[in-house]
């Protein structure tokens, strides 16, 4: 169970922020991705990281991103991720025409079809796991705080 402080946060020191206090948060950030990955593998034969990569490519101009950016945003090994996408016919690599020392990943039509076929099941599952039991205000707060946490974890200074 996650135990939040009562009263002022300034009184909530690192000494009181113990493992027991954070168990709920730790379980959430480890189990939720695992649950979504399991659903995607079962229902769409694609991992969560592959799904994320294809979604990022689908949102990029010309369905193209530098492979280094794709790896950074998915937090996974670049060569394994793009190799898996290539082997399934979902993406291809090519040199970046603007900077030849970089490589681009390009989403292929088959990858877009895979993403589009997996999206409804993934969205319904995430909605059932996360959204359905929250009030609109709780969901708004969760989104806001998640963005704040992500800004700190995504910063170069980490």
**CATH number of the domain enclosing 86:** 1.10.10.10
Domain-located, residue 21: no
The gap between the terminal CA atoms of the chain, to the nearest Å, is: 27
**Residue 68, domain extent:** 28-153
Residue-wise pLDDT for 111-126, tens only, equals 999 999 999 999 999 9
Domain-located, residue 62: yes
Res. 29 pLDDT band, cuts 50 70 90: confident
Q: Which value, to the nearest 10 degrees, does the dihedral of the CA atoms of residues 127, 130, 136, 138 take?
A: -170
User: What is the number of domains present in the chain?
Assistant: 1
- Whether the CB-CB separation of 25 and 3 falls below 8 Å is answered with no
Domain-located, residue 130: yes
Is pLDDT larger for residue 3 or for residue 54?
Answer: 54
Domain-located, residue 91: yes
Domain-located, residue 5: no
Res. 158 pLDDT band, cuts 50 70 90: very low
**Mean of per-residue pLDDT scores for the chain:** 85
Structural Rg of the chain based on CA atoms: 19
């Amino acid at each position: 169970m996650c135990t939040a402080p009562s009263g002022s946060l300034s009184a909530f020191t690192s000494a009181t922020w113990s493992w027991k206090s954070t168990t709920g948060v730790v379980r959430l950030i480890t189990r939720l991705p695992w649950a979504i990955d399991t659903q995607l593998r079962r229902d769409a034969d694609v991992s969560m990281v592959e799904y994320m990569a294809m979604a990022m490519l689908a949102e990029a101009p010309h369905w193209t991103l530098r492979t280094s950016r794709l790896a950074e945003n998915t937090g996974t090994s670049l060569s394994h991720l793009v190799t898996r996408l290539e082997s399934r016919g979902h993406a291809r690599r090519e040199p970046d025409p603007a900077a030849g020392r970089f490589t681009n990943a390009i989403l292929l039509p088959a990858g877009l079809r895979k993403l589009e076929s997996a999206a409804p099941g993934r969205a319904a599952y995430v909605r059932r796991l996360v959204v359905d039991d929250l009030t609109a205000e709780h969901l708004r707060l969760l989104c806001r705080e998640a963005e704040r946490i992500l800004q700190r974890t995504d910063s170069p200074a980490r």
